[in-house]
Amino acid sequence: AKRQGKANYQVYSYTDSIHSYKKYNLDQDMRKAINNEEFEIFYQPQVEPISGAIYGAEALLRWNHPEWGYVSPGEFIPLAEENHLINAITDWVIEKVCAQLKNWKEKGIGLKPIAINISPTRFMKKGLAEYVKTLLSQYDISATFIELEITESTLLQNEKNVLSSLQQLRDLGIKIAIDDFGTGYSSLMSIRTFKPDIIKIDQIFTRHITSEGSVDKGIILSIIHLAKELGMTVVAEGVEEYEQLQFLLHNGCHYIQGYLFSKPLQKKDFYQILKTGS
Ligand code: C2E
Ligand code: CA
Ligand code: CA
Ligand code: CA
């Protein structure tokens, strides 16, 4: 519902009010969601395009809401940013992933790196590196199995703090990926400042690779070349079609992630892949 305007009429939209009703409820319920165990982590494989070998996976959060059913992270993550629960949620994800890695390790399978999304707010809050370090030793996991994905917007925060947080994570041996690369305002600047280990090409570019007259082929080629020139690993997101895969593998993209190979999987299904793939 819009506020009453100067012209003294009300624009009242049914969908608007449904939307804010749902938003209000989600906001309230999110506070209980962690303890009620309504969150679940899915794992989407990242694979080597020629052999199909598993490189690792991205951890993607799911919320099974008791009333609303499955709520998309595209909906509740921005809400969590607003209501400040994002830090608690991010820390929960980091701990769950570490516990999961320990569990898989105890089952005797070869571990692969798991990438965790870190929102700018959590990245900027003090103590991220210490928190990760504590968990790694508590669960007896090597830092090589945790990667952190940050977006270009993280750069818009206090640069000095961003850099010192990055350095502390690097010192631990944690790899950093720039997520949604190319969609921010200062992509080259973010490479220059973050010096990421991994660049993730956003699906907006991958999607139109095969469209006639699209500039995205050129953009992807330059990102791949740029990454290789700088000794960085490049991952293409949102690969859904065989033609996209062909283009990426012919042009030397290191890894691909997308529905063509696999949707995000429940932990038991990802475990099966790890088991047969190692
Ligand atoms: P993202 O980090 O860019 O994650 C990739 C998104 O693309 C995921 O959506 C994934 O399911 C989807 N995807 C993967 N392959 C394909 C494909 O081939 N085609 C299409 N159309 N989509 C594909 P998802 O899981 O809905 O997550 C949406 C966003 O929510 C994520 O985008 C990320 O920004 C955020 N998110 C998810 N989990 C977390 C989390 O644990 N913490 C934080 N801070 N953000 C998260
Ligand atoms: Ca991501
Ligand atoms: Ca992404
Ligand atoms: Ca995205």
Question: Atom 11 (ligand 1): residue with closest C-alpha?
Answer: 264
Q: What is the pLDDT of residues 207-264, one digit of tens each?
A: 998 888 889 999 999 999 999 999 999 999 999 999 999 999 999 999 999 999 999 9
First to last CA, the chain: 54
- Which atom number of ligand 1 is nearest to the Cα of residue 259? 18
Instruction: Assess contact for 262 and 238: CB atoms under 8 A.
Output: no
Query: pLDDT of 91-100, one tens digit each?
Result: 999 999 999 9
Question: Inter-axis angle of helices 73-82 and 14-33, to 10 degrees?
Answer: 70
Question: Ligand 2 center to residue 90 CA distance, Å?
Answer: 13
Measure 69 CA to ligand 2 centroid, in angstroms: 23
Which residue's CA is minimally distant from atom 8 of ligand 1? 60
Residue 5 pLDDT greater than 50, yes or no: no
Measured in Å, residue 45 CA sits from the centre of ligand 2 at 12
pTM, 2 dp:
0.93
Grade residue 184 by pLDDT with cuts at 50, 70 and 90: confident
Q: Which ligand is nearest to the CA of 258?
A: 1
259 lines ligand 1 (CB under 6 A): yes
pLDDT score of 49 more than 50? yes
| Residue 90 Cβ contacting ligand 1 at under 6 Å | yes
Residues 6 or more apart whose CB falls under 8 angstroms from that of 34 comprise 88, 89, 92
**pLDDT at position 1:** 41
Cβ of 72 below 6 Å from ligand 1: yes
Count Cβ neighbours within 10 Å for each residue of 252-261 and write b for 16 or more, e otherwise. ebbbbbbebb
Count Cβ neighbours within 10 Å for each residue of 81-118 and write b for 16 or more, e otherwise: beeebbbebbbbbbbbbbebbbebbeeeeebbbbbbbb
* Nearest atom (ligand 1) to Cα of 257: 15
- Closest C-alpha residue for ligand 1 atom 42: 117
Q: How far apart are CA 226 and CA 25, in angstroms?
A: 45
Testing ligand 1's pocket by substitution, the residue of 58, 60, 235, 260 carrying the most ligand atoms inside 8 A of its CB is 60
CA of 5 from ligand 2 middle (Å) equals 40
Give the β-pairing of 146-151 and 114-117. Answer: parallel
Nearest CA to ligand 1 atom 10: 264
φ, ψ for residue 236, nearest 5 deg: -100, 130
Distance CA 121, CA 140 (A): 27
More confident residue, 97 or 15: 97
Ligand 1, atom nearest to 86 Cα:
44
Report the 10 Å Cβ neighbour count for 175.
Answer: 20
- ipTM value greater than 0.95: yes
Q: Taking all residues of the chain, what is their mean pLDDT, rounded to a whole number?
A: 92
Decide whether any atom of ligand 1 lies within 6 Å of the 198 Cβ: no
